Structure 1
Amino acid sequence: MQKFLNINKRISSKVEKFVKALDGVSLNIDKGEIYSL
């Protein structure tokens, strides 16, 4: 069970980073500036 929780934490942190990156891209697109990740 503990291993599963650790894997879950790792996945959720990766998802958070991905979502933050997407938010950054969408904000830049709103400004008319597209930056590569």
Structure 2
Amino acid sequence: MQTIHTILFRRRVLSLDYITFIWQTLLSKGTYRKSISWS
């Protein structure tokens, strides 16, 4: 039971890191486009 809980917890943390990474990438692309359109 403990191992299953740890695996699920790790998977949740990994997915959160993945979502954060995608979100930051999208945000950086958005700000990059904004700076291009402003100049």
Give the TM-score range, shorter chain: 0.7 to 0.9
What is the aligned length? 33
Higher relative contact order structure (alpha carbons within 8 Å, sequence separation ≥ 6): 1
Instruction: For structure 1, list consecutive stretches of 5 or more residues without a partner in the other structure.
Output: none
TM-score, length of structure 2 as denominator length: 0.72
- Alignment-derived partner of residue 22 in structure 1: 22
TM-score, length of structure 1 as denominator length: 0.75
CA RMSD across the alignment: 1.3
Q: Which stretches of structure 1, 4 residues or longer, exceed 2 Å deviation after superposition?
A: none
Instruction: For structure 2, list consecutive stretches of 5 or more residues without a partner in the other structure.
Output: 34-39
- Given residue 4 of structure 1, which amino acid in structure 2 is its aligned partner? I
> Which one has a bigger Cα radius of gyration?
2
Q: Which structure features the higher share of helix residues?
A: 2
